[in-house]
Amino acid sequence: MEPARGKIIFFNAKSRFGFIKNYYDNKNYYVHEKNFLESVEPEDEVDFELKEAKRGPVAVNVKKIS
């Protein structure tokens, strides 16, 4: 799938998952901590890729926009 850009809108450090709001389609995508390429916080803007999973697309290769 194609690269995307968005914002971390939620992240639960205890459960190690969160959601990214995609700027291009205005949808929220699930992201697991293992898919972060670097440390991110809620409200950080990020670049990411979407990968098809069992329950639909998920964010992978997530990196903060500097």
CB atoms within 10 A of CB 52: 9
What are the extents of the domains in the chain?
Answer: 3-64
Q: Which CATH architecture has domain 3-64?
A: Beta Barrel (2.40)
16, 12, 17, 66 alpha-carbon torsion, rounded to 10°: -100
pLDDT in tens, 16-26: 999 999 999 99
pLDDT in tens, 30-55: 999 999 999 999 999 999 999 999 99
**Counting beta carbons within 10 angstroms of the beta carbon of residue 29, is it exposed (0 to 12), middle (13 to 18) or buried (19 or more)?**
buried
**Residue 2 pLDDT more than 80?**
no
pLDDT of residue 3: 79
pTM surpassing 0.85?
Answer: yes
Sign of the Cα torsion 58, 5, 9, 13 reads positive
pLDDT, average across residues 5-26: 96
Q: Which amino acid is at 2?
A: E
